[in-house]
């Protein structure tokens, strides 16, 4: 992005972040459901699930909970974008010397900040529950990088939903399948324990490779080829979603 676009994006991102600071309940709400699921799975179901890895169940399932946190949080991006469209703010921005793309990037960067705060809250609760990792600083940075890339990919999908929705409910409803997707992966149980067709789907969808990579980084184990599969999925989704979001945006405001 050019200096002009960066400056415009910075101003608009500040505007969006101020809205979140005035209503921090959105971040808290985003973190509540994953935390509740974490408590439920660890203290109710965890003892009945054989992971086959020898890990405490909290360490096994935390990567999946982190992805659910992000999938829950992006619904607010679509919601806020939809409200901006309905409120006529985009039309007002068009009459000002503001780079068009900066409007979308402001929502995307706000989503990134808000979701990382929610993820930090979930990790803090996991630490209180006994989660421990001997992962190096580089491994933690790698986990952070994966979560940032995952958030960006899903946020651009949220942008498409926000631009295309006809109602407020429709703007956020798209996130439900994304929240459900980790349950059909290796996030909460080994894929080997699943029926054939379900196991095939779980092993060949993006969440499994992302979860397995984060789990290996936390456990100080070799990540193998899973990290490249995870990166390919996330970059591919990001590129396609970004391109389609820009296309929809240009058609919507033309």
pLDDT tens digits, one per residue of 141-177? 999 999 999 999 999 999 998 888 888 777 778 788 8
- Report d(CA 151, CA 114) in Å as an integer: 10
The pLDDT, as a whole number, for residue 239 is 96
Residue-number span of the structural domain to which 207 is assigned = 3-253
The answer to whether residue 25 scores a pLDDT higher than 60 is: yes
- Average pLDDT in the chain: 84
Q: How confident is the model at residue 75 (pLDDT cuts 50, 70, 90)?
A: confident
- pLDDT on residue 212: 95
User: Per the structure block, which two tokens stand in for 53?
Assistant: 């890895």
23 three-class SS = coil
Question: What's the rounded Cα separation, in Å, for the pair 189 and 236?
Answer: 26
Q: How far apart are CA 57 and CA 132, in angstroms?
A: 12
Residue 210 has what pLDDT? 96
- Is 87's pLDDT higher than 80? no
Rounded Cα distance between 149 and 161, Å, is 19
Structural domains in the chain (count): 1
Provide the pLDDT for residue 157. 93
The pLDDT tens digits of the residues spanning 92-125 come to 666 555 666 677 888 888 889 889 999 999 999 9
Q: Let me know: does 134 contact 220? Beta carbons within 8 Å.
A: yes
| Alpha-carbon separation of residue 119 from 83, 124, 159 (angstroms) | 25, 9, 20
Q: Percent of the chain at pLDDT above 90? A: 42
pLDDT, tens only, 200-239: 999 999 999 999 999 999 999 988 889 999 999 999 999 9
Q: What is the pTM of this model?
A: 0.88
């Amino acid at each position: 992005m050019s200096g002009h676009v960066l400056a415009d994006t910075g101003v608009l991102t500040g505007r969006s972040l101020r809205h979140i600071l005035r209503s921090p309940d959105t971040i808290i709400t985003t973190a509540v459901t994953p935390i509740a699921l974490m408590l439920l799975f660890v203290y109710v179901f965890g003892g009945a699930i054989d992971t086959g890895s020898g890990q405490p169940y909290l360490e096994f399932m935390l990567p999946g909970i982190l992805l659910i946190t992000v999938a829950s949080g992006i619904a607010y991006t679509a919601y806020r974008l939809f409200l901006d469209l309905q409120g006529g703010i985009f039309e007002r921005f068009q009459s000002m010397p503001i780079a068009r793309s900066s409007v979308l990037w402001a929502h995307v960067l706000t989503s990134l900040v808000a979701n990382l705060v929610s993820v930090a809250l979930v990790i803090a609760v996991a630490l209180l529950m006994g989660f421990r990792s001997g992962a190096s600083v580089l491994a933690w940075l790698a986990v952070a990088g994966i979560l940032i890339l995952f958030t960006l990919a899903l946020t651009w999908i949220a942008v498409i939903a926000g631009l295309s929705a006809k109602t407020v409910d429709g703007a956020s409803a798209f996130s439900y399948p994304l929240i459900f997707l980790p349950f059909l992966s290796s996030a909460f149980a080994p894929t080997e324990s699943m029926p054939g067709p379900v196991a095939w789907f779980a092993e060949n969808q993006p969440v499994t490779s992302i979860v397995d990579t984060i789990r290996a980084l936390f456990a100080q184990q070799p990540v193998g080829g899973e990290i490249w599969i995870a990166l390919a999925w996330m970059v591919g989704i990001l590129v396609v979603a970004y391109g389609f979001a820009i296309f929809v945006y240009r058609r919507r405001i033309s």
